[in-house]
Structure 1
């Protein structure tokens, strides 16, 4: 049984665009197959190119719950699957003691019932009920330990979680899974084999202008084109952190908030912190280099 409401790739691409996500056909095809085959989609690419936004957009488009697991070093069962509500269990134990039932075996076992369970993202995704399964976003998997990756392999294969005190919980319908990675380390081949894969690259000039128009409709045509031309030039420089699409949108939004309809040297100087996040990068761009970038941008929109 499939849960995509899109009959064709073109229909999905149009729906994404209607929700302000501009995707080329190759990316749209990967998303379409992930929905139709109910297979995890692994998206790799530089930070800020729109990987996480794909899951958010799909959830909005289909009216589905988005369950997000933000990865970091040291993830464990308590933060990803479940943990017991110890404070509530202690209150229950005291209540049982007051009632003289603390030694009763059934009463002791009752404190390990589902009502005392704090459900974390993976258990929430497995346990979800209803016609539309949730979208499970496992964000920045490369930041997690390899041990968590190994556990994820089993989950993606069987779609079940065992809780010793309760038993095995199986998904009635597996969630749609979007996994992202900024490739700070390589994701294991075994996990990649279980997923569809797509590399999300920096957009072309025309595509990035389309993205800006869709996401920041208040920006003038001239401003949108100038900003994207400058950003594309910045990505060719030897910077510590190249600006992603997220930074492009932040910069345009900041300029619109300042009532700018075109790039000026003063406006750029005042807002460089929206596009560049390291002082060494800002220092490298300022001055003559910045003037050259603005001249090229002006020529590009002339």
Structure 2
């Protein structure tokens, strides 16, 4: 499968599903498909890293398989595990004289295998986008598990042997850079850093998502968001929250984003009391 025929094709098709990719993003997305290499997307929370994988899925018609990473994630949750309850029932049912060798071969078969996202994506014959989200939140040990998958797109199951991908998925790893990933993982990936867009691009994103928003309000909105991000808040407004703010202003029929309107609707984009207090103080909203 050809994911994208060129960077310009990636720009066009991603744009058609609502993702406005800049030239670097479109080029890297094209290369990830053309070279069949995983794509590591790094940057602050809320800049569109996860949305990029979803947009590739929508633009290409591929199914999305998502592995949400977290502290304590292990092989059983990421790759596969055996259905122990069903195995136990099978062992109990086989107590009537069946040899253990026969029972062992029976219970370690496909019928008792529970596939998790990594194995699911590898075994699929249909076009698949594999999203490994927030990989920096996992323990370092999990990276060893990822190396086999990202290197050869295969997984070894001791009881069944090696399972190799018949069709390589389009792999996107996202990271908020809360910890440094190993060089071994980075070496196997293409790299893309996403940051908050400039006001012109963010305005384009907002107007594409909320086309009924007044041009004047859209300009005021992205300017206000840029000012909030400059305050070094505990959690800066994400692009999705900017869009939510735009929809809020449209719903409230606000045609001028003045200090009072900002103060009344700050809860849409700021989710910590300390951030709200700082914004009110620094922007002199009251």
Same fold (TM over 0.5): yes
Ranges in structure 2 where 5+ consecutive residues have no aligned partner: none
What residue is the counterpart of 1:116 in the other structure?
Answer: 112
3-state SS of the aligned residue for 2:94?
helix
Question: Aligned equivalents of 1:56 and 1:288: distance in 2?
Answer: 36
Q: Is the 8 A contact 1:51 1:180 kept in 2?
A: yes
Is 1:8 the counterpart of 2:6? The answer is: yes
Partner of 2:153: 159
Root-mean-square deviation (CA), in Å? 1.8
> Could you tell me the TM-score, scaled by structure 2's length?
0.93
Note the 1:1-302 alignment, pairs <5 A: 2-4=1-3, 6-97=4-95, 100-103=96-99, 105-130=101-126, 132=127, 134-286=128-280, 289-291=283-285
> Contact between 1:102 and 1:108, CA under 8 Å: does it hold in 2?
no
Quote the Cα distance in structure 2 between the aligned partners of 1:121 and 1:160.
13
- Relative to structure 2, which stretch is displaced further, 46-55 or 161-170? 161-170
Task: Out of 44-53 and 189-198, give the one that drifted further.
Answer: 189-198
Q: Distance in 2 between matches of 1:255 and 1:93?
A: 62
- C-alpha displacement of 1:101: 4.7
Q: SS in structure 2 opposite 1:68?
A: strand
C-alpha distance in structure 2 between counterparts of 1:21 and 1:162, whole Å: 36
Alpha-carbon shift at residue 287 of structure 1 (Å): 5.2
- In the TM superposition, residue 215 of structure 1 has moved relative to its aligned partner by 1.8
What secondary structure is seen at the aligned counterpart in 2 of 1:286? helix
TM-score by length of 1: 0.89
Contact 1:93 1:102 (C-alpha < 8 Å) held by counterparts:
no
Query: Taking structure 1 as reference, are residues 218 and 90 closer, same or farther at Cα in structure 2, changes over 3 Å only?
Result: farther
Give unmatched runs, 5+ long, in structure 1. Answer: 293-302
Q: Is the alpha carbon distance of 1:107 and 1:28 closer, same or farther for their aligned partners in structure 2, counting shifts above 3 Å?
A: same
Give CA deviations for 1:176-224 in whole Å, capped at 9, x if unaligned.
1111110011111221111111110110111000011112223222222
